[in-house]
Amino acid sequence: MQEKNSEKRFNTSRAAFIQSQSKHNLRVERLWPEINNRVNYPLKSALVEMVDQEALDLSDPLQCYCISSLTLQVARIGMESCVNTWNCHRISVDL
């Protein structure tokens, strides 16, 4: 995507992206696998199954809008649940 949108960048003399090894995983990077497993993948699986069963017509703009709005709301609820669960983890204090 970075390459496809490269002409929209202000500084085109620099590479659109840099690939490097992560030396320090930020807390949010450690959360992504859990978010994907608990929220994103189940939603994607449900949507793909609905398309496969022809329960959704993605060529219909009204259906796309409705399913998008509903999916965003369900994802928001899932994210809130994940955040609340994550916040209930005990934090160890090393003195």
Asked whether residue 30 is domain-assigned, the answer is yes
The pTM assigned to this predicted structure is 0.60
| CA separation for the pair 35, 28 (Å, rounded) | 10
**Number of domains composing the chain:** 1
Asked whether residue 9 is domain-assigned, the answer is no
Asked whether residue 36 is domain-assigned, the answer is yes
pLDDT at 30: 74
| CA separation for the pair 66, 3 (Å, rounded) | 31
Asked whether residue 51 is domain-assigned, the answer is yes
Asked whether residue 11 is domain-assigned, the answer is no
Please give the DSSP secondary-structure letter assigned to residue 94.
-
Q: What's the average model confidence in pLDDT over 6-31? A: 72
User: In this model, does residue 25 exceed pLDDT 70?
Assistant: no
Asked whether residue 81 is domain-assigned, the answer is yes
Please give the DSSP secondary-structure letter assigned to residue 8.
G
pLDDT at 78: 92
User: In this model, does residue 14 exceed pLDDT 80?
Assistant: no
| Nearest alpha-carbon partner for 56 in 40, 74, 44 | 44
| CA separation for the pair 79, 84 (Å, rounded) | 8
- Mean residue pLDDT of the chain comes to 83
Asked whether residue 4 is domain-assigned, the answer is no
Q: Tell me, what amino acid is at 31?
A: L
Residue range(s) defining the domain that contains residue 46: 25-87
